[in-house]
């Protein structure tokens, strides 16, 4: 998962795969039995309600996780999460897209647990060709443990947009014309996990997980993917920009969307790698001056 940049909760503010394999459009009605495999946790991950609800649990012995049955190359992907309530300090709920290998691509949502009464930190990152270090972190403007909220990733050849309940919070544009790599050649799986990270996650590891509160549980529902499923069975793609059903393949933020990002970042962003000059003494990453 992502390189970790942690801020105090007291702050207020593989080889490239050629594109010759079959890609097919899917709109997924939420059924976790059909769409995902539980990959670890020895029974701590469970699917309920005829596939409509999935829960991950963490105790002192182990966390748990799941992975999509399909790989995707571009998509508009939504998942509703309800995060670990109460004193969740030390826990991390990760929900992300990733390929595999040393040159993997990755698009991350990670939710850093908190002491009761302190806000969760939403940690985002983008990896291209095995390189991350593009962290932005936010406080959420609601309690993410009280109800389900929708966390979305739009990923197409032009842009990546992170959204929360339909509000865009971050954009990573394709700037390959400037020599900046962009994740567009490697299909990715969807992963999620709930795990203990009290060596770094809360105040740099100063606050440890209170195991008397275990088991910790996060819940998932209403997965939806308008996406291109990757398959090695054919040499053609049905994800055509000309199809009206695939309009998300060319979707980008309009001026209103750009203004909404600015508003969220002004009021809720607590870390931005593009302003961390101490971390990059040789100069900020090139994309920081272009966006």
Q: What is the CATH number of the domain that holds 197?
A: 2.60.120.200
14-27 as b/e: b if 16+ CB within 10 A: eeeeeeebbbbbee
210 domain residue, yes or no = yes
70 domain residue, yes or no = yes
Tell me what pLDDT residue 234 has.
Answer: 59
Residues of the domain holding 121: 23-289
Q: Which of 200, 182, 190 minimizes the C-alpha distance to 121?
A: 200
10 domain residue, yes or no = no
Tens digit of each residue's pLDDT (9 = 90 or more) over 254-281: 999 999 999 999 999 999 999 999 999 9
231 domain residue, yes or no = yes
259 is catalytic: no
Tell me what pLDDT residue 198 has.
Answer: 81
Tens digit of each residue's pLDDT (9 = 90 or more) over 153-169: 999 999 999 999 999 99
14 domain residue, yes or no = no
In this predicted structure, the answer to whether residue 28 has a pLDDT above a threshold of 50 is no
Structural domain count of the chain: 1
4 domain residue, yes or no = no
Q: Which of 58, 22, 14, 53 minimizes the C-alpha distance to 35?
A: 53
- The neighbouring-strand residues paired with 170 are 162
185 domain residue, yes or no = yes
287 is catalytic: no
In this predicted structure, the answer to whether residue 114 has a pLDDT above a threshold of 70 is yes
Given the residues 110, 135, 259, 287, the one annotated as active site:
110
Distance CA 194, CA 66 (A): 10
Contact 86, 72 (CB under 8 A): no
- The CB-side HSE value for 163 (13 A sphere, CA atoms) comes to 21
In this predicted structure, the answer to whether residue 15 has a pLDDT above a threshold of 60 is no
117 domain residue, yes or no = yes
DSSP 181-226: --S-SS-BEEEEEEEE-TTTTTGGGTSPP-GGGPSEEEEEEEEEEE
């Amino acid at each position: 998962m992502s390189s970790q940049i942690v801020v105090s909760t007291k702050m207020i503010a593989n080889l490239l795969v050629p594109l010759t394999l079959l890609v097919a459009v899917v709109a997924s009605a939420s059924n976790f039995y059909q769409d995902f495999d539980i990959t670890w946790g020895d029974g701590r991950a469970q699917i309920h309600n005829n596939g409509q609800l999935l829960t991950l649990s963490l105790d002192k012995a182990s966390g748990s996780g799941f992975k999509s049955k399909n790989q995707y190359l571009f998509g508009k992907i939504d998942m509703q999460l309800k995060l670990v309530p109460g004193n969740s300090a030390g826990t991390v709920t990760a929900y992300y897209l990733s390929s595999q290998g040393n040159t993997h691509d990755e698009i991350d949502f990670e939710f850093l647990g908190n002491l009761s009464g302190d806000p969760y930190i939403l940690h985002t990152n983008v990896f291209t060709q095995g390189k991350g270090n593009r962290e932005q972190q936010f406080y959420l403007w609601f309690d993410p443990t009280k109800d389900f909220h929708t966390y979305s990733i739009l990923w197409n050849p032009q842009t990546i947009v992170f959204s929360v309940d339909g509000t865009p919070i971050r954009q990573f544009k394709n700037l390959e014309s400037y020599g900046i790599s962009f994740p567009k050649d490697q299909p990715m799986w969807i992963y999620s996990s709930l795990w203990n990270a009290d060596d770094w996650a809360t105040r740099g590891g100063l606050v440890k997980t209170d195991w008397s509160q275990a088991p910790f549980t996060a819940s998932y529902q209403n997965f939806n993917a308008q996406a291109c499923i990757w398959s090695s069975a054919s040499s053609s793609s049905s994800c055509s920009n000309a199809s009206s059903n695939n309009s998300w393949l060319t979707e980008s933020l309009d001026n209103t969307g750009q203004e909404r990002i600015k508003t969220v970042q002004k009021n809720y962003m607590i870390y931005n790698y593009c302003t961390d000059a101490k971390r990059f003494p040789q100069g900020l990453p090139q994309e920081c001056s272009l966006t």
